[in-house]
Amino acid sequence: MSEAFRSRLADYHLAQGATLGEYHGAIVPVRFSEAAAEYRALREASGLLDLAFRAKFAMKGRDAQRFLHRIVSNDIKSLAPGQGTYAALLNAQGHILADLRIYVCEDRILIDTDADLRDKAMTTLRRYIIGEAVEAEAVELDALGFEGPRARGLLEKTLHIELPELGLFGHFETPYAGIPIRVVKASQTGENGYEVWTETKGLMTVWGAACGRAPSDGTLPCGTEAIEALRIEAGIPRYGSELGEDTLPLEAGLWNALSFNKGCYVGQEIVERSRSRGHVNWKLAGLAGQTGAPLARGEKLEANGREMGEITSASFSWRLGKPIALGYVRREVAEPGTLLATAGGAAVEVRTLPFSEGAQAGREAPGGNES
């Protein structure tokens, strides 16, 4: 997916007045109306998301689960059908090549990642197949997100079903209007969230049904500006911003992507060395602007005239009423409450993640706790 994938709903969104832009390898709505209103809908009611910026592939064959278990950073072998987990695909130096949400089904394993990472992840995994009965193939499934405190009720009324209790990354298949869909417990923003995966022919059907229910639930369709504000508040790192081939998992705080009990996997020695040392030199932190001046990705952070960090993502928090950001800072200045300055002189305070209490759906940590 080297060229940006255009959402299959793009023309419909444009006709409804949405503004489109590129986000993680896809052309999707940046905003439908006002980002502040969409943000409030996600925080207080529910929001409907076009998840065309996510892409999927499948690992098939009798050795698929065992193969993934020995390659990626989290425990895959113990997952039963209907369960899933978050994991990183690392190189031998322990750096992050891709981050993946992995879902075990009865007949295959479905892997969800950013649209601009799918081909890279598939190619990397194929290089490790040595005699196993396993193959990777792209899967064309479209996805919509239902997020916010009323998301469950909106989804139940949209699909005319009663949702079972699902843990994070739990999932099941069910028919809707004669089309098989998969309901997944997952979030892009840290709010309570579900996804609906469907073939293209079911995409507009589900979107239209959800929009028909929207007024009674306070729901709004929401674009990437609101998604980014909430993602940053929740402290959820994204590839290409906080994650990359120069990033170690513990620098990014990816404890929820790691198992320290499963044994060897690619990059495991470096991860274990980082943990046993008790710290990493760089740490992903929250940053809150103190002057009201906007913060920007790429801005350097200084303390006492020395460069001590860099902003990786920035937005405005309508809940806090100030600019916020994610960024990497040296461990010497990573203590919450530490004041840093941008190269332009704007003051920023180091904050604990997440900024928002309860907004941790993307950062649950079954793999361990930070030393």
Could you report the per-residue pLDDT of 62-74, keeping only the tens digit for each?
999 999 999 999 9
Q: What is the pLDDT of residue 312?
A: 98
Predicted confidence (pLDDT) per residue in 294-340, tens digit? 999 999 999 999 999 999 999 999 999 999 999 999 999 999 999 99
Amino acid identity, position 145:
G
Q: Name the percent of the chain lying above pLDDT 70.
A: 95
| Strand positions, DSSP E, the chain | 5-6, 19-23, 26-31, 46-50, 54-60, 84-90, 96-104, 109-114, 135-139, 142-147, 171-176, 179-185, 193-198, 219-222, 282-289, 300-303, 306-317, 322-330, 339-342, 347-351
| Residue with tokens 């229910």, as numbered in its chain | 213
DSSP state for residue 27 in the 8-state scheme: E
**Calpha distance 203→195 (Å, rounded):** 12
CB 340 within 8 A of CB 309: yes
Mean pLDDT over each residue of the chain, to the nearest integer: 93
Query: How far is CA 331 from its chain centroid?
Result: 25
CATH code 2.40.30.110 region(s) in the chain? 281-358
Predicted confidence (pLDDT) per residue in 361-370, tens digit? 444 433 333 3
Provide the pairing of β-strand 219-222 with 46-50: parallel
Please give the C-alpha separations between residue 66 and each of 75, 76, 104, 132, 347, in angstroms, as whole numbers: 10, 8, 12, 9, 49
Sorting pLDDT into bands at 50, 70 and 90, what band is 239?
Answer: very high
Q: Name the percent of the chain lying above pLDDT 90.
A: 90
Which of 256, 273, 265, 272 shows the shortest CA–CA distance to 73? 265
**CB-based burial label for 261 (10 Å; 0-12, 13-18, 19+):** exposed
Sorting pLDDT into bands at 50, 70 and 90, what band is 356?
Answer: low
Give yes or no for residue 42 having a pLDDT over 50.
Answer: yes
Q: What is the pLDDT of residue 214?
A: 77
Residues in the chain: 371
Tell me the three state secondary structure of residue 332. helix
**Calpha distance 157→1 (Å, rounded):** 34
Predicted confidence (pLDDT) per residue in 115-158, tens digit? 999 999 999 999 999 999 999 999 999 999 999 999 999 999 99
- Does the predicted TM-score (pTM) go above 0.85? yes
Sorting pLDDT into bands at 50, 70 and 90, what band is 357?
Answer: low
Please give the C-alpha separations between residue 367 and each of 32, 61, 213, 248, 257, in angstroms, as whole numbers: 37, 27, 38, 16, 7
Give yes or no for residue 347 having a pLDDT over 70.
Answer: yes
- Residue 329 φ then ψ, to 5°: -130, 155
**Calpha distance 178→202 (Å, rounded):** 9
Q: What is the dotted CATH code of the domain comprising 1-278? A: 3.30.1360.120
Longest dimension (CA), the chain: 64
CB 216 within 8 A of CB 207: no
CATH code 3.30.1360.120 region(s) in the chain? 1-278
Fold for 281-358, please state it.
Elongation Factor Tu (Ef-tu); domain 3 (2.40.30)
Give yes or no for residue 16 having a pLDDT over 90.
Answer: yes
SS3 content of the chain, % helix, strand, coil (to 5): 25, 35, 45
